[in-house]
Structure formats: structure tokens, C-alpha cells
Structure 1
Amino acid sequence: MSGGWLWIVAALVLGALEILLPGWILLGTAIAMGLMGIAILSGLWTAGLPLTLVAIAALSGLCWLALRRIFGSSRGDVRVWTRDINDHK
């Protein structure tokens, strides 16, 4: 039963690291670990560690894609121009 709390603590640690190292790298994994901790504590998830790690990996990818969709790309991304303003057609 205490395994859920370990996942929640790990999620909080990754969330704190995300504040120190911004870049959206750890946030998806932190959200996935938090959701998994809640699922374990509520009894919705009873599988062993290997399947739990696979589920966290899949959830973190989905969380990262959802965050990317909601908040968009960062302003530091490179923009590729396909047409020059000086080209008159």
C-alpha cells in the first residue's frame, strides 16, 4: 500500500527538478508518476513493477504530448521559412 506514496514522492522530486532544469523533459514523467501513485493508492492498479514501469513510460509520453498540444512549442524553437519576403511571384 505504501508503494503509491513512493511514486508520488518521486513525482514531486521530478517536479522540483523540472523547476531547476526547465525544458519540459521531466514534467511528463512527473505527472505520469503522480497519476500512477494515485492509481496504486486507490487500488485501480495492482500490477507488478515491470508492467508499472511500462505504463509510466506510456503515460509520460502521452502527458508530454498533451502538454505540448496545450501549451504549444517554446519560443526558442527554430522557425523554418519556406518563402522569402523579397521573392515576388
Structure 2
Amino acid sequence: MWDQWWLWVGAGIILLIVEIFAPGFIFLGFGIGAFVVGVILAFGGGVLSSLPVALLVFAVCSLIAWFVMRKLAGERKGQIKIWDTDINDD
């Protein structure tokens, strides 16, 4: 069952939908990782010959996607507002 490409793509779509309701770029990385595994299985399934290899590719792609998304859309320098004074300091 793990070697069916459409299951991985379907899981990717579900994870992207979950990301809409729980933003934070966590499920987005997992969704992209699932899509990559699905595409690899669709076009060259012999590369992912066993479940541990497929899970390893999924984990590595998810981690890379998470780092890229955090770099592109994450917290920027100077984005945090630091207050030097308090409204009650008079």
C-alpha cells in the first residue's frame, strides 16, 4: 500500500489543507515531502524499493522544505518590536 503514488499525493493534499487551519509551516513541509515521494513513485518507483527508504526520502524532503519555508517566510530581523518604555513609567 505504501508504494501507491496516489496515496502519497493524497496525503500531501490533506496535509496542505491542515496547514490552512493550523499555520506555522509545520504541515506544509510534511505535505511537500509527501508530494515529492508521490512524484518519485509515479515516475520512477524502483528508486523507493522499500518502506524505510520511502520514509527516509519523505523525512529528508520534509525537513528541507521546512527549512526553506522558514527561510523564505519566517521571522525576519527587525520584525520583533522591543519596547523601551512602559505606559506606566511616569
TM-align CA RMSD: 2.2
Match of 1:69 in 2: 71
Letter in 1 for 2:67: L
Distance in 1 separating the partners of 2:62 and 2:55: 10
SS at match of 1:26: helix
The number of residue pairs the alignment matches comes to: 78
Distance in 2 separating the partners of 1:23 and 1:55: 22
Match of 1:8 in 2: 9
Distance in 2 separating the partners of 1:25 and 1:46: 24
- Cα drift, residue 5 of structure 1: 0.6
Distance in 2 separating the partners of 1:72 and 1:58: 20
Distance in 2 separating the partners of 1:72 and 1:13: 23
- Cα drift, residue 47 of structure 1: 2.0
Letter in 2 for 1:13: I
Match of 2:49 in 1: 47
Distance in 1 separating the partners of 2:48 and 2:74: 35
- Cα drift, residue 69 of structure 1: 1.4
Structure 2 stretches lacking a partner, 5+ long: 85-90
| TM superposition score normalised by structure 1 | 0.75
- Cα drift, residue 46 of structure 1: 3.0
Letter in 1 for 2:23: P
